[in-house]
Amino acid sequence: MFDGGKVIAGLIVFVILATFPFWYNHGKAAPIPEPKLTEKAKTEKVCILKKELMKSEHMQILNDWRNTVVRNTNRIYETPEGKRYDMSLSNTCLDCHSNKADFCDKCHNYVAVSPYCWDCHIEKPKETKE
């Protein structure tokens, strides 16, 4: 009635299958991607804020910019150093970081996020002459 050998064998198979993803990928993590800068970004050498802050806070900055522009109609961002920028993903950020695949997508794909920025900001808008 009680077949201990089959139960133990079943448990061993279960443990192996349940832990397979962990030990199979042990030590095989993908390297953290390094975004490729365009020539313009390399010559500028500075973004609106320091590199470390931009890496960790860029989405919060873009959200704050969007809210400030839409709700307060303020389009100018002033850095702590006093430099002024237009609050625009298309005209400010994409001016230097124009290659979405080599700059944005590398990190976003690595961390498996799909930002909604690209629902509206597909390419730089054409300037209209009035």
What are the boundaries of each domain within the chain? 39-119
Model pLDDT for residues 75-88, shown as the tens digit of each residue: 999 999 999 999 99
Where does the pLDDT of residue 122 fall: very low under 50, low under 70, confident under 90, or very high at 90 and above?
low
d(CA 106, CA 48): 21
Mean pLDDT, all residues of the chain: 87
Where does the pLDDT of residue 90 fall: very low under 50, low under 70, confident under 90, or very high at 90 and above?
confident
Model pLDDT for residues 109-118, shown as the tens digit of each residue: 999 998 888 7
Identity (one letter) of the amino acid at 95? D
> What pLDDT is recorded for position 100?
86
> What pLDDT is recorded for position 59?
93
- Say what percent of the chain tops pLDDT 70: 92
> What pLDDT is recorded for position 129?
54
Where does the pLDDT of residue 128 fall: very low under 50, low under 70, confident under 90, or very high at 90 and above?
low
